[in-house]
Amino acid sequence: MVDLSKLDLVQEGKKYTSTFSTSKISKEIINKLNISQEYVSISPVNIYFKLEGLYGKMVKVRPKLKLDFAKQYQLSDSLSIKPDSVMVVGPENLLDQITYIETIEQEASQIEQSQTIKTALYIPENLSTIKVLPKEVEIAISVEKYTESTIKIPVVNTNKEYKIKTYPDFVIVTYLVALDDFKRVNEEMFTASIEYVEDIASNRLKVNLERMPSFVKITKIDPEEVEYLLLKQ
């Protein structure tokens, strides 16, 4: 065993180098094994050490999950990771390459209830000398039962310079909403609009959903485009 504390270090910037002659330990081996010196040969003759200080920093954890929900179930909130940041310790030049750390990929299928997944953090091979603390995180998945519904929304023209009629003059918006929020949804919460631009080449205008409640997830707007007539003001 080489006692690093007894090495003669030579500083080169932020790094240190040292050369250890293996002949220094041949005597120890002879004594320990009680053999003649002629039987002892150590290769290599020198061991070269490169040392540098260890640094640490906190980096964000990014979950790597493949989630598949049972019918009518969806995430009710963003994923919660505990801890959301971890300490990485290692040589400065390696730490400089790390801006975040991913979890090992996990899969969950047919999810229909909230759950917590414990997962290790993924350290790429080229960064294998760094240490990560802690080595595992917990990811909380909040799940809620959703229902699909539709609502009829009038299409409005945002270009006040032109009087425009659209056909149809409404769209059917299909959305997912948590059962608890279902009764809160009403037509007033949505705005579907078209924007007419002069000299437009198309005979149809795209319908944009400008405004909608934050607690719904839009799955479809039907139709996505409407025909229009420009009317005299």
Partner 1 sequence: MIKVGLTGNIGTGKSTVAKIFESLGIPVYHADMEAKKMLKRDDVKQILRTKFGGNIFLHESVDRKKLADLVFKNAEKLNILNSIIHPLVKNHLAEFFVQMKHHSYVIQEAAILFESGFYKEFDKTILVTCSVELANKRIMNRDGVSQQEAEQRRSNQWSQERKINLADFIIENNEQDLLIPQVLKIHNTLRT
Give the whole-angstrom CA distance, residue 196 versus residue 94.
53
By the rule CB under 8 A, 223 interacts with partner 1: yes
Token pair for 151: 């609502």
Residue 30: other Cβ atoms inside 10 A: 15
Give the whole-angstrom CA distance, residue 106 versus residue 191.
39
Token pair for 125: 């091979």
Q: Which of 97, 167, 200, 206 binds partner 1 (CB under 8 A)?
A: 167
Residue 195: other Cβ atoms inside 10 A: 14
Mind spelling out the 3-state secondary structure of 37-55? HHHCCCCCCEEEEEEECCE
Minimum distance from CB of 152 to partner 1 (Å)?
7
Looking at beta carbons only, is 69 or 170 nearer to partner 1?
170
Binding residues among 11-40 for partner 1 as defined by CB under 8 A = none
By the rule CB under 8 A, 231 interacts with partner 1: yes
Minimum distance from CB of 222 to partner 1 (Å)?
6
Give the whole-angstrom CA distance, residue 138 versus residue 143.
16
Token pair for 224: 């996505």
Q: Which of 52, 57, 67, 168 binds partner 1 (CB under 8 A)?
A: 168
Minimum distance from CB of 225 to partner 1 (Å)?
9
Give the whole-angstrom CA distance, residue 136 versus residue 133.
8
Minimum distance from CB of 227 to partner 1 (Å)?
5
Binding residue count for partner 1, defined by CB under 8 A: 17
Looking at beta carbons only, is 203 or 214 nearer to partner 1?
203
By the rule CB under 8 A, 203 interacts with partner 1: yes
Residues that bind partner 1 (CB under 8 A): 149-150, 152, 165, 167-169, 172, 174, 203-204, 222-223, 227-229, 231
